[in-house]
Each structure stands twice: as structure tokens, then as C-alpha cells.
């Protein structure tokens, strides 16, 4: 009986309260570098970011080529794990069902900031775009043809 009451209470709780926070959605990728390009993690994205990642996969399957030839996590091809652990910080700004998460860190002594745009979709926060304000690129604007 007690288990049933707990289960019913959990089911009655608002969905948003049970969902992860936007910063948690982004922190996952920094805890698991490389997962941002892993097809097994694609459900963490929605369009337009997902469409670009899917097109990148197709390009690889067709010609063993890629349009994303750097890590969108770091705006680089390499990073220092110890430096990342020491300097990584997040700041989130939520406005209803959309959010921006700023990941700031040092990369070989130089400060970096990556902006992650998210939308609340189907019960969780999903990445819709990733960009580097300083470098001037947006994942959604990459052409994978």
C-alpha cells in the first residue's frame, strides 16, 4: 500500500519538476567528451542541432568525411582534462521552455565560452544549438553536404 501511494504521488507531480535542469543536460557532455557526436546520445538533441549531427553522420557513411572536424564542447580539437576539471563552470538562463547554458573554462590557459541553447521537449531539456560567441560559429549553421 505504501509503495502504491509513493508511486501515485510521483505520477501526480508536475512533469517539469521531475525533469533535469538545462545545466544538467549540458554537463552530461562535459562529463563524457565525445558523446556529443555519438549516435547513441542523439535523443539529447533536437532540431536544428540534431539535423546537422545526423547530416554529419551521413557524410561519414557516404564518403568517410565529416563537416564537424573539431569538438563543439571546446571549440578545439584537443583539451587538457585536468585544466577542464579545474576551470569548468556553468551559468544557465531559463525563460519558460527555452534556456541558454554558458559553459566557461580555460583551454591551454586561454579562456573559452560555449553557448548551449536548449528547449524543453517531450519531458526533458534537449540541445537545439551550440555556438562559440568568440569564434563566431553556430552548429546550426554548419553545412554537411
Residue 99 falls within a domain, yes or no?
yes
With a cut of 60, say whether residue 44 has pLDDT above it: yes
Q: How confident is the model at residue 103 (pLDDT cuts 50, 70, 90)?
A: very high
DSSP characters over 3-20: HHHHHHHHHHS-HHHHSP
Q: Domain with 111 in it: what CATH number?
A: 3.10.450.50
Question: What distance in Å separates the CA atoms of residue 27 and residue 21, rounded to the nearest whole number?
Answer: 10
Residue 6 falls within a domain, yes or no?
no
Tell me: the pLDDT tens digits for 58-89? 988 888 777 888 999 999 988 999 999 999 99
Residue 106 falls within a domain, yes or no?
yes
State the DSSP H helix or E strand holding residue 115, giving kind and residue range, or none if neither. Answer: strand 110-121
Question: What distance in Å separates the CA atoms of residue 76 and residue 24, rounded to the nearest whole number?
Answer: 22
Total structural domains in the chain?
1
Beta bridge partners of 121: 124
Q: For residue 40, what are the contacts with CB-CB under 8 A and spacing of at least 6?
A: none
Residue 26 falls within a domain, yes or no?
yes
Residue 1 falls within a domain, yes or no?
no
Amino acid at each position: 500500500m505504501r509503495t502504491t501511494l509513493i508511486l501515485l504521488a510521483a505520477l501526480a507531480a508536475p512533469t517539469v519538476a521531475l525533469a533535469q535542469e538545462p545545466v544538467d543536460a549540458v554537463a552530461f557532455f562535459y562529463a563524457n567528451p565525445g558523446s556529443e557526436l555519438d549516435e547513441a546520445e542523439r535523443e539529447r538533441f533536437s532540431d536544428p542541432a540534431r539535423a546537422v549531427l545526423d547530416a554529419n553522420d551521413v557524410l561519414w557513411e557516404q564518403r568517410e568525411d565529416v563537416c564537424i572536424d573539431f569538438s563543439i564542447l571546446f571549440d578545439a580539437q584537443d583539451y587538457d582534462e585536468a585544466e577542464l576539471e579545474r576551470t569548468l563552470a556553468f551559468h544557465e538562463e531559463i525563460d519558460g521552455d527555452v534556456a541558454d547554458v554558458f559553459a566557461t573554462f580555460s583551454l591551454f590557459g586561454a579562456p573559452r565560452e560555449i553557448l548551449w541553447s536548449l528547449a524543453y521537449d517531450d519531458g526533458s531539456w534537449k540541445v537545439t544549438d551550440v555556438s562559440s560567441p568568440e569564434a563566431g560559429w553556430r552548429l546550426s549553421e554548419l553545412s554537411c553536404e
